Each structure stands twice: as structure tokens, then as C-alpha cells.
Amino acid sequence: MANIFTWQYKVTPHKVFTKSKAKAKKKIAAQDFGILYGQMLEIVDGLSIETIFPQLLTRLFITGATYMCTYLNEDSMTINTFLLPEKYCRTVGQTQYGTYIIQFDYTYFTDLGYTEEKLNAFLKSWPKEMQKQYRKYTKDQTVWRWQALDPSYASAVLLNEKGIPTLFYIYGGILDYEKYQDNELERSDNLLRYLVVHTIPHYEDQLIFEVDEVKALHRSLKKIVDNGDKARLITTYGDVHVDKISDDDDSATQVLANAYKAIFNNAGFNASIFTSDSVTALKMALVRDRSFVWKIVQQYLNFYNLSINNFIEFK
């Protein structure tokens, strides 16, 4: 699902309409426009969309949420993405741009168990804003434990309202399926097993053969019949007949098939997406899956557009 698209991008400069007549009348010279357009291409190329988007989507589908912040590398003029640990993040609101306002729990750094020297070296790889917030946290760990990050540069994308991963819903279905699968294997094995009933004749409830003779008959027949794990011999009084341990029954197979489909249904996918005989069914499944992923991609696009314009001020 994370790689359902061949990731390509296009940069489309467009005029931003404003209420200010002075700004609306302002024209950009062709040379300046060319410079801005070149900068736009460099910035977007520096995002590494082809690699970062599949990475973000994979993490989203596995964990249920991605919390991230961006920072500008002024030396290379690239905007880098920094993924935050989900366990130490939470959403507290939403901006007018449709991005989330998130808070970060700075106990993350103390929970690492690093020495002071190692922790200081580790902190240097984090965005400067978060380094400042951590210093505030060290001064008062109660007040500054949870701190909001600037929503212009940090946001989250949730798979659902609670950020619950898909695996949470389908895990029970997987466990049930494995249980049904074990039952099916045992049932299939029983279909190959036979019970041979050797019945000793009798007359008017009177034994024709003595018990010792019956034992001898049982032992001699057992050498022929009961020589493996696929057949068992029982000696009783009556006729000889052969029975299967288990009858061939379609109901167990149907239960297993339904349990298999339930795993995909709980995940919101089509169980026959890769096995369907119908080309139309496969096409429809792919269309639906693409639209599902594209809705999420648009949230990432919205966040990156906001971050880029705040960092670079393309206007």
C-alpha cells in the first residue's frame, strides 16, 4: 500500500490572490520568476519524495500515526523531515490549514538512559526548537514535560481518529485463523485414518471362542492391520467392517475460508485483491486502494506546502 504509486511530482507556481490591491498589481519580472521557479524545484527535489513518502506511509500503516517535524538545512537549502516517536507524542488541536497541533513528551530523552555526554551529542541531531524546549524541561520537569511544537513545522497524520494501527483490528482475526487452520489440518489427517472393527461371532449370547482364543485372533490380525498410524484395530463380537475416523465435511473448509476473508475485511481490504478471477474486480480494488492512499498523501502534501512556504517565503 505504501508503494502503490510510482512517486513523481510536479511544481506548479501560481499567483496568490490577496485583498491588497497593491500586492495584486505587483508583477514579477521574468528573471525573478525564473530564479524562484529554480528554487522551488531544488526545494521539492531535496525533500526526496520518492523515498520519504513510502517511508511515512509504511510507518503510518504499521503504527497508526506519524508525528513529524521539518527543519531547514541552510547550507544545502533543503528541508529535512524528522520523524518523532509515536509513544511520546499527542495531538491537542488542529490549525486552520488542516494540520494537527502536536505536543512532545520530553521524558523521552531521560528514558533513553544516556550519560550526559552522550545525551548532549544526541541532542545536536534534533531540530533547534526542540533543543531549546528540552533545556526548558530540565529547569522544571513538571511544568515543561509536554510542550507544543510549532504547527508550521510540525504535524501528524493519523490513520484514524485514535491513531490505532490496522494490525490491532486484524490481529484477533489472524489468531482465530491460525486456530481454525490447526483444526483443519487435524481434520484432514483424520480423513486418512481408518478403524477396523473385527467382530467375533457368537450364538445366542454364548461365546463360540474362549477369551484366550479371541486374544490370539486379535494379535494375529493386528500384525496385518494395525502396522502404522493410519489404521487401528478393535476386536469385538459381531461382523468385520471398516470406518473412517472422520467424515469428509465441507463445513470446516467453509469456516476456514470465511476466517481468512475476515482478516482482510477487518483491515478494510478485498480478500481477493491478488487472487480474483475477474479483471474488473482487481481493477476496482486497486482504484479503491489508490484513492485510500491518496487521501493520506494529500495530508502530507498539505503539511509540506505549509512548511516550505514558511521556511522559504516564496509568497
Please state the three-class secondary structure of the chain as a single string. CCCCCCCCCCCCCCCCCCCCHHHHHCCCCHHHHHHHHHHHHHHHHHCCHHHHHHHHHHHHHHHCEEEEEEEEECCCCEEEEEEECHHHEEEEEECCCCCEEEEEECHHHHHCCCCHHHHHHHHCCCCHHHHHHHHHHHHCCCCCCEEECCCCCEEEEECCCCCCCHHHHHHHHHHHHHHHHHHHHHHHHHHCCEEEEEECCEECCEECCCHHHHHHHHHHHHHHHCCCCCEEEEEECCCCEEEECCCCCHHHHHHHHHHHHHHHHHHCCCCCCCCCCCHHHHHHHHHHHHHHHHHHHHHHHHHHHHHHHHHHCCC
Q: Which pLDDT band, with edges at 50, 70 and 90, does 57 fall under? A: very high
pLDDT at 226: 64
59-94 confidence digits (pLDDT tens): 998 889 999 999 888 787 788 899 999 999 999 998
Model's pTM, two decimal places? 0.65
Render pLDDT for 210-226 as a digit per residue (tens, 0 to 9). Answer: 667 777 776 766 666 66
pLDDT top residue among 115 and 224: 115
